[in-house]
């Protein structure tokens, strides 16, 4: 695919890419700093701040909390996204396009507006600062991603295969288990990875909706940047970035494998 791109354009693209990614990458050397001050370029080399990150309950519990919320968000998004995608692609009813717009609207909507709205609803319902509330909020913006990835997979799936399965004696449930599910699994995994990533580094909703006891990793980082600038912040940033990169790589890998499988 890269065959037809002229060399000059490739170099230009590479430079722009590097410039965009550089500020992100500076946190890596900074996280290995030996000095107690967060600055660039870093002074010395030590793993001291990694030790602090994993032992200080402020950081480690926030990291665990983030994983918990992202995992729950993923599960909930998968259930909702799969259900909606199945209904939208396989169902026969009118008014699909307005419903589609509604499903995708959280992606287009400014998140800060959603955050303010949820803030007032949550304080009325008294679920501000709860894990459940946060999971729900993250699901609102994560499940459209699952929906997109799944409806794409379902659209690509030939419905004749399901007819064939029925003609061979399989019930609807059996067909779903043996035919539909295996064929949409790559789409399901991709959706799950996107949902997890979305929740994992989400800050705006989390700032509005977390409380003093339930804090996610990005929120703690935000707090710390305003109070105490220690290299632990760089450690946290590095870890957030690494997890995200690994997840996105997995999603891309699934995508290319799926393409390779097609006849």
Partner 1 sequence: MTQTQLRQPLTMTATGGELRIANVRKSYGNSRGVESVSIDVRPGEFLTMLGPSGSGKTTTLNLVAGFLDPDEGSITLDGKELSGVPPHLRGIGMVFQQYALFPHMTIEENVDYPLRVRKIHRAERKSLVAAALELVQLTDYAKRKPSELSGGQQQRVALARAFVFKPRLLLMDEPLGALDKKLREAMQIEITRICRELGATVVYVTHDQEEALAMSDRIAIYNAGRIEQLGTAEDLYKRPETLFVADFVGESTVIKGSYAKGALVHHGRSLSTQGAHGSVAEGSAAAVVIRPEDLTVVPATQTAAIPEALNTLEATVTKCVYLGQSRKCLLTTATGLVINARIPLHAPPELFNPGDSATVTWDPANSVLVPSD
Regarding 156 and contact with partner 1 (CB under 8 A), the answer is no
- Rounded to whole angstroms, how far apart are CA atoms 15 and 43? 27
With CB under 8 A as the contact rule, the residue among 86, 104, 183, 203 that binds partner 1 is 183
Tokens of 92: 């026969």
Site stretch for partner 1 (CB under 8 A), options 60-68, 74-82, 96-104, 170-178: 170-178
Tokens 């001050």 correspond to 37
Size of the site for partner 1 (CB under 8 A): 21
Q: Is the dihedral of CA 207, 130, 213, 221 positive or negative?
A: negative
Helix (H) or strand (E) segment spanning residue 209: helix 204-209
Contacts of partner 1 in 234-263 (CB under 8 A): 261-263
- Spatial neighbors of 190 by CB under 8 A, at least 6 apart, are 149, 251, 254, 255
Residue 171: left if φ>0, alpha if ψ -120 to 50, beta else—which one? Answer: beta
To partner 1, the closest distance from the beta carbon of 165 in angstroms equals: 7
Residue the block writes with tokens 């701040």: 49
Stretch that binds partner 1, among 70-78, 113-121, 157-165, 239-247 (CB under 8 A): 157-165
Burial of 149 (0-12, 13-18, 19+ CB in 10 A): buried
Nearest approach, Cβ of residue 157 and partner 1 (Å): 10
Give the C-alpha distances (Å, rounded to integers) separating 234 from 18, 139, 215: 20, 28, 18
* Closer of 10 and 178 to partner 1 (Cβ): 178
| The one among 47, 163, 242, 253 contacting partner 1 by CB under 8 A | 163
How far apart are CB 161 and partner 1 at their closest, in Å?
A: 5
Only one of the segments 45-53, 122-130, 172-180, 245-253 lies at the binding site for partner 1 (rule: CB under 8 A); that segment is 172-180
Contact 223, 73 (CB under 8 A): no
- Kindly state the smallest distance separating residue 168's Cβ from partner 1, in Å: 4
One of 34, 158, 211, 252 touching partner 1 (CB under 8 A) = 158
The mark string for 1-40 relative to partner 1 (x by CB under 8 A, - otherwise) is ----------------------------------------
CA distance 158 to 139: 29
Tell me the HSE value of 124 on the side-chain side, using a 13 A CA sphere: 6
- Binding region for partner 1 (CB under 8 A): 158, 160-161, 163-172, 174, 178-179, 182-183, 261-263
């Amino acid at each position: 695919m890269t065959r037809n791109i002229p060399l000059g354009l490739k170099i230009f693209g590479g430079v722009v890419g590097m410039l965009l990614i550089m500020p992100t990458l500076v946190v890596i050397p900074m996280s290995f700093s030996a000095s107690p001050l967060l600055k660039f370029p870093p002074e010395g080399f030590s793993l001291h701040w990694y030790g602090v990150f994993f032992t200080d309950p402020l950081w480690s519990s926030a990291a665990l909390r983030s994983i918990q919320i992202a995992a729950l968000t993923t599960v909930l998004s998968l259930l909702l996204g799969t259900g909606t995608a199945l209904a939208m692609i396989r169902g026969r009813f009118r008014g699909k396009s307005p419903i589609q717009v509604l499903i995708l609207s959280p992606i287009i909507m400014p998140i800060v507006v959603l955050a303010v709205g949820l803030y007032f609803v949550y304080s009325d319902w008294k679920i501000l600062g709860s894990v459940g509330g946060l999971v729900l909020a993250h699901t609102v913006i994560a499940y459209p991603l699952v929906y997109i990835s799944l409806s794409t997979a379902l659209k690509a799936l030939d419905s004749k295969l399901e007819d064939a399965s029925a003609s061979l004696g399989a019930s609807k449930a059996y067909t779903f288990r043996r035919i539909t599910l295996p064929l949409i699994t790559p789409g399901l995994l991709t959706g799950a990875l996107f949902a997890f990533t979305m929740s994992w580094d989400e800050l705006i909703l989390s700032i509005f909706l977390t409380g003093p006891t339930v804090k996610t990793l990005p929120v703690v980082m935000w707090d710390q940047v305003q109070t105490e600038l220690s290299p632990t912040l760089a450690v946290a940033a590095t870890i957030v970035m690494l997890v995200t990169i690994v997840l996105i790589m997995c999603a891309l890998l699934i995508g290319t494998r799926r393409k390779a499988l097609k006849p």
